Structure 1
């Protein structure tokens, strides 16, 4: 579980429920092949909320250049954001 600051209208992944939403904002899946999973989700009608962040590019939110996270976020059918990662998350243990 992660406790995060509220999203704002300026966040790319604010989600369907808008800013200051109380409840489940997003959940994530670790996938073996991120580009393949992104393609599958787009073909299934998934709406991509963020660019694909590759390892070493600063992540989704412009972190340090050596940031190892590789992920992309989609809008789920019920408004919950789906986060898929090919490398795990910096906050994962």
Structure 2
């Protein structure tokens, strides 16, 4: 069974947007790029999934071609899957074209309405454990005793 791994929001000012979600919803910051400003992206979590707040549209940023990289809003939805190759085949059979920027562990496809679907087998569990207080981790992501 697949499960959502993250949601990515495209915005002009990731650091400012991240502050809103941290202040209002109490999300925990896991990472920012560059580390001093977060101008390119800030990654947050509620202990269940990641919320990537990113600035897309530059020369070195991933895109689906014309359109989605310049649109503000949800850029892509990421899923953890049990079998990456099987899911890649399922997506291809459903008419989803693979996008530039795919790798062996993280594959990207153009889904319905042009929304990018980002699928991978393994997650960032260790990064969550390293950055979030243990009492904020969910049972599914809690470290083993």
Interval containing the TM-score (normalised by the shorter chain):
0.5 to 0.7
Gaps of 5+ in 2: 1-50, 129-145
**TM-score (structure 1 length as normaliser):** 0.66
Distance 1:6 1:39 in 2: 28
Decide whether the 8 Å contact of 2:62 with 2:101 is kept in 1: no
The Cα shift of 1:83 comes to 0.4
Of 77, 84, 91, the match for 1:27: 77
Structure 1 segments of 4+ aligned residues over 4 angstroms from their partners: 9-12
**Per-residue deviation, residues 61-86 of structure 1 (Å, max 9, x unmatched):** xxxxxxxxx11111111121110011
Question: What does 1:5-84 align with in structure 2 at a 5 Å threshold?
Answer: 5-8=55-58, 11-14=61-64, 17-50=67-100, 52-54=102-104, 70-84=105-119
More helix, by proportion: 2
More strand, by proportion: 2
**Per-residue deviation, residues 29-84 of structure 1 (Å, max 9, x unmatched):** 00011011001110111111036422xxxxxxxxxxxxxxx111111111211100
**The structure with more radius of gyration:** 2
Number of residues of Structure 1 aligned to a counterpart in Structure 2: 78
